[in-house]
Structures are given as C-alpha cells and as structure tokens.
Amino acid sequence: MLNGKTVLITGGTGSFGKKFIETILHKYKSVKKIIIYSRDELKQSDLKEKYPESVYSQLRFFIGDVRDKDRLRRACEGVDVIIHAAAIKQVDTAEYNPTECIRTNIDGAENVIHAALDCGVSDVVALSTDKACAPINLYGATKLASDKLFTAANNIRGSKEIKFSVVRYGNVMGSRGSVIPFFMRKRNEGEIPITHKDMTRFNISLQAGVDMVMYAIKHHLGGEIFVPKIPSYRIQDIAKAIAPDCETRIVGIRPGEKLHEEMITDTDSLNTIDLGKYFAILPSVSFTYSEEEYMSHHKSEKVPFGFKYNSGTNTEWETVDSLRQLILEHVDSDFKV
C-alpha cells in the first residue's frame, strides 16, 4: 500500500508519529520517503539518533509549523500520502490560549488541505479525538471544525484524484499527558487523585491507532470519519490496576472535562455505517457517493436509528486484570503492582 510512496506526517515527532514511522519501516520496506514535519528540533534530533541516515535513508526531517502554509506547501511537493497528526491537544492549554489553539488546529488544518490540493497528494487522513464529538471545551470545538474542513474538502477537489478522511478515537494508552503515566508517577506519593468516581473513558493502544489509520488509507472513499470499536475503562479501575494499596482522593472534574466521552451521538447515527471492526460517519453533504453506494462498496449496513457510542454505556469493558496486562504490553514492560 505504501511501498514506492512518499508519506508526510505532520506532528511526526509525537507519540502517534513515532509509532507510525516504526510501523511503516517494518511493514513497507520499499517506502520511497517518510517526511517528518514538526516544530520540535530536539525531538527530531532524538529521532535522527534512533534512525541514522546511513541505515534509514528514506527518512527526511522538516522543521516547520502547520500554521506556515508556504513551508508546508514546500514540504508537500512530491508527497503521495499525508497523515495530519499535528495539534494543540491539552484541554487546559487550549482554554488558556484559545487563539493559539485555533491557529494550529483550524488554520493549520486548512493549510494542510490546500497544500495537498496544490501538490497532487492522493490520500489525506487527519487524526481527530473523541472530544470533537458534542464538544464542551475549545480543544474539542477546534477539532470538530478541523473534522468538518477535512470531510468537506472532498467537495472542492475538482478533477484532482485526492481523498480526505478523518479517524476519531479515544484516549491512547500511555501517551504523553494521559492518565496512566500520571497515576504511575503519583503512586510513589501514596495517593491517587481521581476527578470523579464514575468517570469513564474509551481506551486504545498506539498500535491500534496506527492500524486504524492504515485501514483508512486503504479503504476510504473520502469524507468519512472512522471510529473504532474499542473498550471503555473506569477511572477507578485504572487506579486499582496501578496502585491498589494507595488511597484515592476525589478532586473534582476539571473545567472542560466530561464525565463520559462520546464518539458517535444519536444525531450522528443518522449517517453512520457499521463496517464491522469500525464505524464510519458519512458526511452530511457529499457529491462523491450516496449512502447506498457506500454501503454497497463496503458490504455494510447502517447502525440502528438512535444509536450512540458513549464510554459510559459501552458494552465492552476493560477489567483491573486486563488493564494491568495492557500496561505491561503497551506502556511499561517492567510494570509491577
């Protein structure tokens, strides 16, 4: 699928980008070029040490910001596939710095779209978040706007052979700033702070997130938002899995935070297709295909009327034991209770 292709990853030095690069190099040994586009020269330097040019000559490192449309356009020349992972992601950071969040997450998305259209790119997949579904904070609102830009971009492609799609998933296990590394640090203090005793979240591993993007590149028709079928966990179970001997302290839900996360609302369900392993939310306006054509292509069916996908009402759950095993596999191979 990616052999002989040039792939550009915005935000390529983040948790997702690093796992995506590792996966491409393992599965697609004849990939023509992988361009890592990001602002952080220190993280790029660390990646260069991990992947020396003498061995990994297909890697290219571009210092650049998605806000800089000229630099982005230059980086996209000759590119076949774009994975857009760059974003300001921290909820509290976005609330305190709203204009900066808008410039990166919305203006940056628009710059990626126009660079892709101008440079003959064939496939664009943008990463989203469960917080973009019925958002209550600025981060989620900017990602919803970004999702709308990417899904609607298919309507302005003209005669160009290009497809834009989005992948939306929940908390990535062990990613920077997520709850598991936080609790692992806190257990040394003897107390675990919990926002709310009933809080739940969706859970996905980095590799599963990468696999989902690979699926989107291979199967997308353009305009979809792909959503994975993944388990939920209770925040209390995370605390028990990591630090069963520690006291817990309820500290209250933070500003802009939900008790449960959603990925598909009952309104979204009107346009949602069950693909088996994933759901696909189709665009409300599309000139590319009809709903019937999409279902026929994927041999799939619509979800039931009124369906919604919520971490609190999910039918699949992680247990304390399964969470410990997942932490060993995906976060810390030396983890011990």
Kindly state which CATH superfamily the domain 6-170+205-230+263-310 is placed in.
Answer: NAD(P)-binding Rossmann-like Domain (3.40.50.720)
Using pLDDT thresholds of 50, 70 and 90, give the confidence band for residue 1: confident
Q: Does the pLDDT value for residue 177 go beyond 80?
A: no
User: pLDDT of 250-308, one tens digit each?
Assistant: 999 988 889 999 999 999 999 999 999 999 999 988 888 999 999 999 999 999 999 99
Average pLDDT, whole number, for the chain? 95
Q: What is the pLDDT of residue 110?
A: 98
User: pLDDT of 29-49, one tens digit each?
Assistant: 999 999 999 999 999 999 999
Q: Does the pLDDT value for residue 174 go beyond 80?
A: no
User: pLDDT of 315-335, one tens digit each?
Assistant: 999 999 999 999 999 888 888
Catalytic residue among 89, 131, 163, 258: 131
Using pLDDT thresholds of 50, 70 and 90, give the confidence band for residue 72: very high
Q: What is the pLDDT of residue 178?
A: 81
Q: What is the pLDDT of residue 337?
A: 81
User: pLDDT of 49-60, one tens digit each?
Assistant: 999 999 999 999
User: pLDDT of 121-155, one tens digit each?
Assistant: 999 999 999 999 999 999 999 999 999 999 999 99
Contacts of 204 (CB under 8 A, 6+ apart): 169, 170, 171, 172, 173, 228, 230
Cα 46–chain centre separation? 22
- 131 a catalytic residue: yes
> Residue 19's CB: how many other CB atoms inside 10 A?
18
Burial class (CB in 10 A: 0-12, 13-18, 19+), 181: middle
Q: What is the pLDDT of residue 76?
A: 98
Q: What is the pLDDT of residue 24?
A: 97
Q: What is the pLDDT of residue 272?
A: 98
Q: What is the pLDDT of residue 262?
A: 95
Position 250, amino acid = I
Q: What is the pLDDT of residue 170?
A: 82
Q: Determine the angle formed by the axes of helices 15-27 and 206-219, rounding to 10 degrees.
A: 60
Averaged over 246-250, what is the pLDDT?
A: 93
> Residue 293's CB: how many other CB atoms inside 10 A?
12
